[in-house]
Amino acid sequence: MPDLDENNSNNYWKANIRLMLMLLSVWFFVSFVCGILIVDYLNQIQFFGYKLGFWFSQQGSIYFFILLIFVYVWRMNSLDRKFGLEEDD
Amino acid sequence: MSLQVMTYVFVGLSFGLYIGIAVWSRSKSTSDFYIAGSHVHPIANGAATAADWMSAASFLSMAGIIAFEGADGARYLMGWTGGYVLLALLLAPYLRKFAKFTVPDFVGDRYYSQTARLVAVVCVIFISFTYVAGQMRGVGIVFSRFLEVEIETGVLVGMAIVFFYAVLGGMKGITYTQVAQYCVLIFAYLVPAIFISIQLTGNPFPMLGLGSTMSDGSGIYLLDRLDGLTTELGMAAFTAGNKSTIDMFFITAALMAGTAGLPHVIVRFFTVPKVRDARISAGYALVFIALLYTTAPAVAAFARINIINSVNEMVYADAPDWFGKWERSGLIAWLDKNADGKVQYRGGNALNPVKPVYAEGVGSSGERSLENQPTNNGNELYIDRDIIVLAHPEIAMLPNWVIALVAAGGLAAALSTAAGLLLVISTAVSHDLMKKTFMPDISERQELLFARLSAAAAVTVAGFFGIYPIGLVAEVVAFAFGLAAASFFPVILLGIFSRRMNKEAAITGMLVGLVFTFSYIVFFKFISPELNNAEHWLLGISPEGIGTLGMLMNFAISAIVCRFTPAPPPDVQKMVENIRIPRQQASI
């Protein structure tokens, strides 16, 4: 049933794109927005021993990047299974 | 044991390890040589990617740049890590599913065009050579500084080692050597950082020490102390930036897209067995990289404090050993403007021209005489930022074995990156030029021989650049990232995410992105360097960040050309659908 297959693949791809865009907006927000665009504003806020903007640009964004990749891996592996498109072992 | 003997021991042991691994993991087929037979465990690939990626620049220069630039250094921290998010989400899994050997392979097949493949090959070779030259130079510098041999000898030894395991082992040898090199380099980076973090803040984790209070009983946060010290001495506050927001934005974006588009990083994801391994492997790689990248800003801040505290108002005659040693190597200079025999460290450049030009003889305190004119500020000290990582353990008076370890770590960082780049160059020649373009009839054994020969030739050329640097190594690095961002990143991305993307659009897009970025950098760096300032830049974007604009132009041109030219053939569209899905499809 090629039509059903194609439908399934398309839905999988759409779900993938949705997940990706969501994660990339977090990626953009923590680095470009918090670390660059509004860094001076955030620097007025003290975050432990850091100014908040400085923390985002030199520490925090990197921690978020790691988190984003692991969330992506976890969500994608379950999407693979949900649509029956995972690899054989 | 003296420092020098200790350094020989550490460097010797680490080199022995690399050679041992190379002998154990020889390549027997082209698949072994190009992609390690796709048998690499994702964690091993993560460590190898981290070593592949972190070069002499990350290990030796980055903390130094942050130490002197403060907040502006964030463009490297975010740019060189954020690229891995793009790599993991947008490129790595799909390229793994594509399952070929090289980046030009993908470009050539996806765009059903030998022209596209050739453009890609030229880019790969150009990007990789600009990058590798700097690595060989880094090897030479570490050797000459710590083992007190000529830079030339250092480069030759480095070449011999890389030659041995890259030519013999190919990707398989390189992968496992890089895993070992990662361990050496991260250990060498963290140990002194932990020591110094405990000294200054009492916190054994440098990334947390950066946000802790000083352990001198004052209860002041370290960063506040540093801001206070720097402003007091008339320097820019450490946590305040000087670069314009638009420039920071564009540079960071260019470094991110460039990271995701660098062929020697992408090709690492061809070496794991499965698509889901490629995904998780990018995550491991970033964890391994982040260990160094979150430590670097701490090292930078610690170093800035230690330098200010140890040299400002120091009587030159009582200067510690390291001061004289780096002065003799030409990376520190002191001009006693007020003739009080003490070093005043203040804001602004001490010398005119900025870099020291030494004269014969010594001054009244015994310092090396200079031909430079004094500037009209109170600063008397020139410190080259490249010495921070190497000199800091000595400044903080750490034991000799820690200092020797740093030398071994710097070599590991430079050698691992050099090997990865050389492999990409040799693959581009033997696979994409020979096998796929000019000599399609050669057997696998012949192709493997060509691969080894071109790896050998590439090592030789790289070594030559290390011994006779074009003098512009720092300048040309902007090329590598700008060009990767303006060419490979958009072309691969669109190749995966747009089924309609065709060869006409890909070729014009790549050419426009490349020509624009290339000419902008050449104009400001080489033709009219005197105009290289914000006033003359397009939209206030420096040559470092122009790759982002090149990338946007590439996207725009591709979208337009694509609308007016025929769709790609059905089998290519099928291929795109196929790489989007992890499961192997039965042939349709």
pLDDT averaged per 10 residues in sequence order, chain B, 588 residues: 84 88 79 77 88 86 88 91 94 88 88 89 85 77 74 82 79 87 92 92 90 85 85 85 88 93 88 88 94 93 90 88 83 87 89 86 85 88 84 86 88 87 86 79 83 86 77 62 90 92 91 90 81 79 89 95 91 89 67
Instruction: Tell me whether A45 touches chain B (CB under 8 Å).
Output: no
Tell me what pLDDT residue B469 has. 67
Q: Which two tokens stand for residue B51?
A: 């070593």
Measure B80 CA to nearest chain A CA, in Å: 10
Instruction: Tell me whether A55 touches chain B (CB under 8 Å).
Output: yes
User: pLDDT band at A3, cuts 50/70/90?
Assistant: low
Tell me what pLDDT residue B473 has. 53
Measure A50 CA to nearest chain B CA, in Å: 6
User: pLDDT band at A1, cuts 50/70/90?
Assistant: very low
Point out the residue among B245, B252, B275 whose CB comes nearest to the CB of A87: B275
How many whole angstroms separate alpha carbon B188 and alpha carbon B178? 15
Are A19 and A72 contacting, i.e. CB atoms less than 8 angstroms apart? yes
A-chain CB neighbours of B71 within 8 Å are: 39, 54, 57-58
Q: B535: Cβ–Cβ under 8 A, 6 or more apart, which residues?
A: none
The percent of chain A in helix, strand and coil, each rounded to the nearest 5, is: 80, 5, 15
A-chain CB neighbours of B53 within 8 Å are: none
How many whole angstroms separate alpha carbon A48 and alpha carbon B476? 39
Q: B262: Cβ–Cβ under 8 A, 6 or more apart, which residues?
A: B127, B480, B481, B484, B488
Contact A32 B282 (CB under 8 A): no
Secondary structure (3-state) at B381 = strand
Q: How much is the ipTM here? A: 0.95
Q: Which two tokens stand for residue B211?
A: 């946000």
For residue A74, the chain B residue with the least C-alpha distance is B280
Measure A78 CA to nearest chain B CA, in Å: 11
Interface size, chain A vs chain B, as Cβ–Cβ contacts under 8 Å: 130
Nearest Cα residue to B343 out of B359, B362, B360, B365:
B365
Contact A70 B283 (CB under 8 A): yes
The answer to whether position A26 is within a domain reads: yes
Tell me what pLDDT residue B435 has. 79
Contact B211 A68 (CB under 8 A): no
Q: Which two tokens stand for residue B429?
A: 């020649």
Query: Buried b / exposed e across B549-578, counting CB within 10 Å, b at 16+?
Result: bbbbbbbebbeebbeeeeebeeebeebbeb
**What residue numbers bound the domain in which A63 lies?**
2-82
The owner of tokens 């985002």 is A56
Q: Which of A48, A62, A85 to mutate to test the interface with B (most CBs of B within 10 A)?
A: A62
Amino acid B241 reads G
Q: CB burial class (10 A; 0-12, 13-18, 19+) of residue A20?
A: middle
Point out the residue among A20, A50, A66 whose CB comes nearest to the CB of B89: A20
Contact A72 B81 (CB under 8 A): no
Q: Which of A57, A71, A74 to mutate to test the interface with B (most CBs of B within 10 A)?
A: A57
Instruction: Tell me whether B2 touches chain A (CB under 8 Å).
Output: no
Tell me what pLDDT residue B478 has. 64
Nearest Cα residue to B132 out of B387, B425, B390:
B425
The CATH 1.20.1730.10 portion of chain B extends over 3-306+395-474
Measure B510 CA to nearest chain A CA, in Å: 24
Q: CB burial class (10 A; 0-12, 13-18, 19+) of residue B533?
A: exposed
Amino acid B458 reads A
Secondary structure (3-state) at B378 = coil
How many whole angstroms separate alpha carbon A81 and alpha carbon B11? 48
How many whole angstroms separate alpha carbon B403 and alpha carbon B336? 30
Instruction: Tell me whether B93 touches chain A (CB under 8 Å).
Output: yes
Query: Buried b / exposed e across B31-65, counting CB within 10 Å, b at 16+?
Result: bbbbbbbbebbbbbbbbbbbbbbbbbbbbbbbbbb
Torsion of CA B313, B314, B316, B321, to 10 degrees: -150
> DSSP character for B315?
E
Point out the residue among B66, B253, B583 whose CB comes nearest to the CB of A86: B583
A-chain CB neighbours of B223 within 8 Å are: 49-51, 54
Q: Which helix (H) or strand (E) holds B145?
A: helix B114-146
Contact B211 A51 (CB under 8 A): no
Query: pLDDT of A38-84, one tens digit each?
Result: 988 998 988 888 889 899 999 999 999 999 999 999 999 999 999 88
Number of domains in chain A: 1
Contact A32 B253 (CB under 8 A): yes
Contact A65 B290 (CB under 8 A): yes
Beta carbons within 10 angstroms of residue B244's beta carbon = 14
Contact B211 A76 (CB under 8 A): no
Contact B276 A65 (CB under 8 A): no
For residue B279, the chain A residue with the least C-alpha distance is A73
Beta carbons within 10 angstroms of residue B469's beta carbon = 17
Measure B252 CA to nearest chain A CA, in Å: 8
Tell me what pLDDT residue B588 has. 41
Backbone angles phi, psi at B468, to 5 degrees: -115, 80
How many whole angstroms separate alpha carbon B385 and alpha carbon B60? 9
Point out the residue among A57, A65, A85 whose CB comes nearest to the CB of B74: A57
Are B321 and B394 contacting, i.e. CB atoms less than 8 angstroms apart? yes
Point out the residue among A9, A61, A63 whose CB comes nearest to the CB of B577: A9
E-state strands within A17-71? 46-47, 50-51
The answer to whether position A87 is within a domain reads: no
Secondary structure (3-state) at A71 = helix
Secondary structure (3-state) at B549 = helix
B-chain CB neighbours of A54 within 8 Å are: 71, 223, 239
Contact A61 B78 (CB under 8 A): yes
Instruction: Tell me whether A22 touches chain B (CB under 8 Å).
Output: no
CATH class, domain B3-306+395-474, is mainly alpha
Nearest Cα residue to B250 out of B32, B546, B456, B535:
B546
Crossing angle of helices B74-86 and B62-69, in 10° steps, is: 130
B461 vs B144, B457, B469, B517, CA distance in Å? Answer: 21, 6, 11, 25
